A and B are shown apart, each in its own frame.
Chain A
Amino acid sequence: MEVAGEVLASESQLHVLAVDDSHVDRKVIEKLLKISSCKVTTVESGARALQFLGLDEEKGSLGFNGLKVNLIMTDYSMPGMTGYELLKKIKRSSAFREIPVVIMSSENILTRIDSCLEEGAEEFLVKPVKLSDVKRVMNDCIMRGETEGNKRRRVDKRKFEDDNHASSSSSSSIPSSPSSPLPSSPSTAATSSPLHSLKRAKLRDHN
């Protein structure tokens, strides 16, 4: 709806790219984000998200409309490219890996949460997403923006803590990554933010 000129004028607003194959969920997340004073672009698939970012292999890495994306929120289960696959592509791209990515999923599966966080997701939100979830993500995002250096240190710290948690995972459902936290003790997780989300995700299991 916005023209390029208006878009350039509102650089101070966070621009969020929301990816979800569900029409209902796209409408809801768009509203949640707009109410939280964000600019929103919604797309229905990982492929479209990459196109929007300009990460098409053919087109090279320039954003196709030049509008910077500050945050990506993506559904996990989508046909074609999953949110996890999208996350990996973004984190492995030199142009876009600094963009925080939040995963949303209706399924509160520990190994899934773990894989996403391992791959660099900022948060894992259990659906249905609430306004309080979005506000919290926004706050984290703003804090991150102000302290990019701290973020790098926090990532390293997280890896360090994960390595310390690693041990005899006897369950065969745990992925091969050695730094997976133990499934039986989420409540003793360290207080670094991604593990906080993990604990919160567990607590919000309301199937």
Chain B
Amino acid sequence: MERNPMRRQLASLRKSLFDQGYLDEQFMELEQLQDDANPNFVEEVVTLYYRDSARLILNLDHALERRPLDFSKLDGLMHQFKGSSSSIGAKKVKAESTLFREYCKSGNAEGCMRTFQQLKKEYATLRKKLETYFQLARQIGPMESANRPK
């Protein structure tokens, strides 16, 4: 299997994630921290993010089923989700979390619910794209994906 076409594909995939606004510069910050000693650092962080996110999304789903809505609790949960999304550079997900929190602050139940559905969609899309990305990166091998030009 040729490495060059795969490397080009990886670079192209990576570029589209940024161009289409799925990721922001914080993801690049994480890439800078990856090295030969820790060639899968970014993927490890993102995997932790999936785990935390799964838990938070479940808790948010449950909290959104209660009547009346506890906006303070919802805001607290989303604050955590926003934080970790921000830490990995998940730009669109972060934007939806910000919007959700604004609806919490204004006590807008419908806004919260609508935004949460959108957030889950964005999260699912991002996750799928990142999984593809890391799968390809692993196929290419640690040497080539770790030493990324700045």
Residues of A within 8 A of B (CB): 21-25, 27-28, 31-32, 35, 77, 106, 127-128, 130-131, 207
- Known pairs A24-B45, A24-B83; list 5 more (Cβ under 8 Å): A22-B83, A31-B41, A106-B86, A128-B86, A130-B26
Instruction: Provide the B57-85 mask, 1 if CB < 8 A to any CB of A, else 0.
Output: 00000000000000000000001101110
In the complex, the answer to whether A106 meets B82 with C-beta atoms within 8 Å is: yes
The answer, yes or no, to whether B32 is at the interface (CB within 8 Å) is: yes
Give how many A-B residue pairs fall within 8 Å (CB-CB).
52
Nearest chain B CB to A204 CB, angstrom units:
12
In the complex, the answer to whether B33 meets A24 with C-beta atoms within 8 Å is: no
Q: Which of B5-13, B48-56, B112-120, B138-146 contacts A (4 or more CB under 8 A)?
A: B48-56
In the complex, the answer to whether A106 meets B83 with C-beta atoms within 8 Å is: yes
**Complex: chain A residue closest to B89, CB-CB:** A128
Which A residues are CB-close (under 8 A) to B80? 21-22
Query: How many residues belonging to B are interface residues under a CB distance threshold of 8 Å?
Result: 23
In the complex, the answer to whether A128 meets B29 with C-beta atoms within 8 Å is: yes
Known: A22-B87, A28-B45. A128 touches B32 (CB 8 A): no
In the complex, the answer to whether B83 meets A28 with C-beta atoms within 8 Å is: no
The answer, yes or no, to whether B44 is at the interface (CB within 8 Å) is: yes
Question: What separation, in Å, do the CA atoms of A122 and B46 have in the docked complex?
Answer: 30
B44, B83, B86, B89: the one within 8 Å of A27 (CB) = B44
In the complex, the answer to whether A31 meets B33 with C-beta atoms within 8 Å is: yes
The answer, yes or no, to whether B38 is at the interface (CB within 8 Å) is: yes
A25, A35, A77: the one within 8 Å of B87 (CB) = A25
Question: What separation, in Å, do the CA atoms of A130 and B87 have in the docked complex?
Answer: 10
Which B residues are CB-close (under 8 A) to A32? 33
Which A residues are CB-close (under 8 A) to B49? 24
In the complex, the answer to whether A27 meets B48 with C-beta atoms within 8 Å is: yes
A-B pairs with the 4 shortest C-beta distances? A24-B84, A31-B33, A128-B87, A128-B26
Nearest chain B CB to A3 CB, angstrom units:
20
Most buried by B among A22, A24, A127, A131: A24
Which B residues are CB-close (under 8 A) to A77? 79, 83
In the complex, the answer to whether A22 meets B52 with C-beta atoms within 8 Å is: yes
Nearest chain B CB to A108 CB, angstrom units:
12
In the complex, the answer to whether B83 meets A127 with C-beta atoms within 8 Å is: yes
